[in-house]
């Protein structure tokens, strides 16, 4: 049986329908289109653009959905599906279901409690939460709110290897059981919705809490402040490995408001940081060092040397890259196109999954995300070779509408639909869903 998620489908239905007798409705809409509408209404235009937007004409986002829709489930009958087991095993840990939460940055744009609300919701349901490198709440704070519930850490490889090592060490110390290295964001994709609003949250000091809580990053910021003040400042800036920010915003009320936001978002808050240049220096340091486009396969050795935790590569879509990752001793993959936010016209994540799973040939788990909107999508991804599936934007929409409760309901709805789909398709084990359950008409 599936432990905490045993019979979650019928339980969730009953809970909703019984509450409905008393006139109560769920805290967040169950239907995906309604959930998105409610989330948009609850979010600022900038937050909505950041979360819902994608790269270019957003054709990759459409392709993610189309790829999931084109596969159809072919149910089998008369197979005794009374007892269903949703659990799976991953890196020696038994998880109650094949669902995890994708790392999603800058959640403070969406809700005041941001990552903390998500961490609590994930823990309430026993679903692993992958902390984002671009979180709004330091990983230690989220971990402390999760008890023994599983969490992983997602890493962006910055220009400072010392910072990379520090983030990994902190992740280990706060109980993360895997490191996810995201490889598809060595540069930010071309995102028209954000560009049209001239809005990038990091500029206001949002989404950099993992950095401003890191001793190595803070030391590096201090050193850059000293450099900027020192006698040879100009020469040092010119020889620095990181590019310098040479474009200055116009000086007007909006610029001042952004400067104040930087100070307010920096540890200690607005009043403490009013007279200091630390917040601005942190944002500048972040902007010039947060990613390293020169990253290569050889660099993975460094990560391998710095952690004993399983390392998964996120954003692998080519079977040759999958094979190479296995050869180099990586422990898992996440097939993902970052929800269509990076390259317009990219292969749909689900279309890449079967070939990647085949290339890896069972040597390591292959996880999947990008386009998952309900339990039937989870089922299809498992059938096409995924070991587990990560949920992205939908939980953010739940967060926008109803905070922690909203995230819990969204996760619960996806699991409930998955449980029912599993049984209705004639299957009793999440770990046993095979390709023969699907057809492509
Ligand atoms: C607003 C937003 C922020 C994201 N931030 C991160 C991040 O910090 N790190 C990361 O690896 N992926 C990030 N992603 C990608 C997600 O982890 C995941 O791959 C994607 O959301 C899957 O697509 P879907 O939400 O459309 O299903 C982000 C996605 C969104 C929508």
**What letters, b where the CB count within 10 A reaches 16 and e where it falls short, cover 17-38?**
eeeeeeeeebebbbeeeebbeb
> What is the Cα–Cα distance from 390 to 287, expressed in whole angstroms?
28
User: For residue range 49-67, what is the model confidence (pLDDT) as tens digits?
Assistant: 999 999 999 999 999 999 9
Delineate the domains of the chain, giving CATH numbers in brackets.
3-187+293-439 (3.20.20.70), 197-289 (no CATH)
For 107, the 3-state DSSP assignment is helix
Distance of CA 84 to the CA centre of its chain: 28
Nearest atom (ligand 1) to Cα of 315:
19
Describe the chain by its helix, strand, coil percentages, rounded to 5: 50, 10, 40
User: For residue range 206-240, what is the model confidence (pLDDT) as tens digits?
Assistant: 999 999 999 999 999 999 888 777 666 555 444 44
pLDDT in tens, the chain (441 residues): 446 799 999 999 999 999 999 999 999 999 999 999 999 999 999 999 999 999 999 999 999 999 999 999 999 999 999 999 999 999 999 999 999 999 999 999 999 999 999 999 999 999 999 999 999 999 999 999 999 999 999 999 999 999 999 999 999 999 999 999 999 999 999 999 999 999 999 999 999 999 999 999 999 999 988 877 766 655 544 444 444 456 788 899 999 999 999 999 999 999 999 999 999 999 999 999 999 999 999 999 999 999 999 999 999 999 999 999 999 999 999 999 999 999 999 999 999 999 999 999 999 999 999 999 999 999 999 999 999 999 999 999 999 999 999 999 999 999 999 999 999 999 999 999 999 999 998
What is the best residue among 53, 100, 102, 389 to mutate for testing ligand 1's pocket, by most ligand atoms within 8 Å of CB? 102
Record the pTM. 0.96
Q: Whose CA is nearest to atom 21 of ligand 1?
A: 392
Structure tokens at 247: 């474009």
> What is the Cα–Cα distance from 38 to 272, expressed in whole angstroms?
36
Q: How far is the CA of 339 from the centre of ligand 1 (A)?
A: 6
Residue 1: predicted pLDDT: 43
Positions marked active-site? 338
Q: Which residues lie with the beta carbon below 6 Å from any ligand 1 atom?
A: 50-51, 102-105, 132-134, 154, 182, 314, 336, 338-339, 341, 369-372, 392-393
- Over pLDDT 90: what percentage of the chain? 93
> What is the Cα–Cα distance from 248 to 203, expressed in whole angstroms?
12
> Beta 366-368 vs 99-101: how paired, if at all?
unpaired
């Amino acid at each position: 049986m599936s432990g905490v998620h045993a019979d979650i489908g019928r339980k969730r239905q009953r809970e909703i329908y019984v509450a409905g007798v008393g006139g109560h409705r769920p805290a967040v809409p169950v239907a995906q289109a309604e959930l998105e509408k409610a989330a948009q209404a609850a979010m600022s235009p900038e937050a909505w653009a950041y979360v819902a937007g994608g790269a270019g004409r957003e054709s990759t986002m459409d392709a993610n959905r189309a790829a999931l829709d084109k596969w159809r489930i072919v149910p089998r009958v008369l197979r005794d599906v009374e007892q269903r087991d949703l659990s799976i095993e991953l890196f020696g840990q038994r998880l109650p279901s094949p669902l995890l939460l994708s790392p999603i940055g800058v959640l403070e744009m969406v809700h005041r409690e941001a990552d903390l609300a998500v961490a609590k919701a994930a823990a309430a349901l026993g679903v692993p939460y992958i902390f984002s490198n671009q979180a709004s709440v330091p990983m230690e704070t989220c971990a402390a709110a999760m008890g023994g519930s599983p969490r992983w850490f997602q890493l962006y490889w910055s220009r400072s290897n010392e910072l990379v090592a520090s983030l990994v060490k902190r992740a280990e110390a706060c109980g993360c059981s895997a490191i996810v290295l995201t490889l598809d964001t060595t540069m930010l994709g071309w995102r028209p919705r954000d560009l049209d609003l001239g809005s990038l949250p990091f500029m206001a000091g949002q989404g950099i809490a993992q950095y401003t809580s890191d001793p190595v990053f803070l030391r590096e910021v201090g050193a850059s402040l000293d450099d900027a003040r020192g006698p040879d400042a100009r020469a040092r800036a010119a020889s620095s490995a990181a590019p310098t920010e040479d474009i200055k915003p116009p000086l007007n009320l909006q610029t001042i408001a952004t400067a104040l936001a930087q100070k307010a978002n920096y540890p200690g808050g607005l009043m403490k940081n009013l007279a200091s240049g630390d917040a601005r220096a942190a944002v500048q340091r972040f902007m010039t060092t947060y990613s390293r486009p020169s990253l290569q396969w050889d660099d993975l050795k460094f990560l391998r040397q710095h952690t004993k935790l399983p390392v998964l590569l996120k954003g692998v879509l080519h079977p040759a890259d999958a094979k190479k990752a296995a050869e180099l001793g990586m422990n898992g993959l996440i097939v993902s196109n970052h929800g269509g936010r990076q390259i317009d016209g990219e292969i749909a994540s689900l279309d890449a999954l079967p070939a990647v799973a085949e290339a890896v040939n069972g040597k390591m788990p292959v996880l999947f995300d990008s386009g998952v909107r309900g339990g039937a999508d989870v089922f299809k991804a498992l059938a096409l070779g995924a070991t587990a599936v990560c949920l992205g934007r939908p939980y953010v929409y739940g967060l926008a509408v109803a905070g922690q409760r909203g995230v819990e309901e969204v996760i619960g709805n996806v699991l409930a639909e998955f449980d029912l789909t599993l049984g209705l398709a004639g299957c009793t084990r999440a770990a046993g869903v095979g390709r023969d359950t699907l057809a492509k008409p």
